[in-house]
């Protein structure tokens, strides 16, 4: 298992940065190798990726989501095993520090060789740089979700407090967030969810003004 940690400072206010990150279906716009992300409910996403010519599909579950602070996730089914947390820290009213920590299990000779050469680390670093460029150029979020997901809720299908934006709203085509439907959502449980990994402990928080 490999640990990847990268940090970047973004010249956009905290709320804007956090809200944009909650628009998971837009990840292909700045994440290398991510072809499609389909959000199936407030907690689960289905991913399609293509890296070095190899296509993979997998499902992720949000384990802990606290507005303007963090989003933690883990894979619960498919061709990839990973877990991680992205945290958001205000530097001042107009600048935000984004820190991503991820544990990834390399699978196969090519992936292990790429891991040994630091390819994953460089790819994550590049993803954060592209995210920075994306949100700074936009100047505002394309959508947002402010619901709370708690670790105790992991492994269930019910969502958070409000529904996320529809895909059209996330792309700037619709009116924005819509209320969640009442009652639990019928999300099928992935086959290996009972073996899902526990979340890694987060690294110690740096001084928010260090290096400024």
Instruction: Give pLDDT tens digits for 114-148.
Output: 665 578 899 999 999 999 999 999 999 999 999 99
- CB 1 within 8 Å of CB 85: no
d(CA 180, CA 79): 30
List all residues 6 or more positions away from 56 whose beta carbon is below 8 Å from its beta carbon. Answer: 47, 48, 49, 50, 78, 79, 80
Residue 10 has pLDDT above 60, yes or no: yes
Mean pLDDT of 44-63: 94
Residue 7 has pLDDT above 80, yes or no: yes
Mean pLDDT of 51-62: 93
Instruction: Give pLDDT tens digits for 84-93.
Output: 999 999 999 9
Residue 34 has pLDDT above 60, yes or no: yes
- CB 141 within 8 Å of CB 135: yes
- CB 75 within 8 Å of CB 107: no
- Cβ burial of 73 (10 Å; 0-12, 13-18, 19+) is buried
CB count within 10 Å of CB 204 equals 5
- CB 84 within 8 Å of CB 100: yes
Mean pLDDT of 60-78: 97
Query: For all residues of the chain together, what is the average pLDDT?
Result: 78
Residue 66 has pLDDT above 60, yes or no: yes
- CB 31 within 8 Å of CB 127: yes
* pLDDT at residue number 157: 53
* pLDDT at residue number 51: 86
d(CA 83, CA 64): 12
* pLDDT at residue number 152: 86
Instruction: Look at the block and give the residue holding tokens 């740096």.
Output: 206
d(CA 108, CA 14): 39
* pTM of the complete model: 0.73
Instruction: Please list the residues that pair with 115 across neighbouring strands.
Output: none
CB count within 10 Å of CB 206 equals 12
Instruction: Look at the block and give the residue holding tokens 């619709």.
Output: 174
- In the structure encoding, which two tokens stand for residue 75, read together? 């894979």
The DSSP code sequence of 15-52 is: HHHHHHHT-GGGGGGTSTTEEEEEE-SSSEEEEEEEET
Confidence of residue 107 (pLDDT cuts 50, 70, 90): confident
Confidence of residue 195 (pLDDT cuts 50, 70, 90): very low
* pLDDT at residue number 120: 86
Element (H, E) at 203: none
Confidence of residue 110 (pLDDT cuts 50, 70, 90): low
């Amino acid at each position: 298992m490999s640990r990847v940690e990268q940090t970047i400072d973004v010249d956009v206010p905290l709320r804007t940065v956090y809200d944009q990150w909650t628009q998971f279906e837009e990840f292909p716009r700045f994440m290398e190798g991510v072809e499609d992300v389909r959000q199936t409910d407030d907690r689960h996403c289905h991913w399609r990726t293509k890296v070095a010519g190899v296509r993979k599909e997998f499902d992720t579950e949000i384990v802990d989501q606290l507005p303007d602070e963090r989003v933690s996730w883990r894979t619960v089914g498919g061709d990839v095993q990973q877990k991680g947390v992205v945290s958001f820290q205000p530097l001042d009213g107009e600048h935000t520090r984004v820190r991503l920590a991820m544990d990834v299990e390399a699978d196969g000779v090519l992936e292990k060789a790429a891991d040994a050469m630091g390819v994953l680390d460089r790819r994550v670093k590049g993803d954060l740089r592209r995210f920075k460029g994306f949100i700074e150029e936009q100047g505002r979020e394309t959508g947002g979700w402010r619901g709370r997901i708690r670790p105790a809720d992991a492994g269930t299908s019910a969502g958070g407090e409000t529904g996320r934006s529809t895909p059209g709203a996330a792309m700037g085509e619709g009116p924005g967030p819509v209320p969640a439907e009442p009652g639990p959502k019928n999300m099928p449980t992935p086959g290996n969810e009972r073996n899902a990994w526990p979340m890694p402990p987060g690294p110690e928080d740096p001084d928010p003004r260090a290096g400024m």
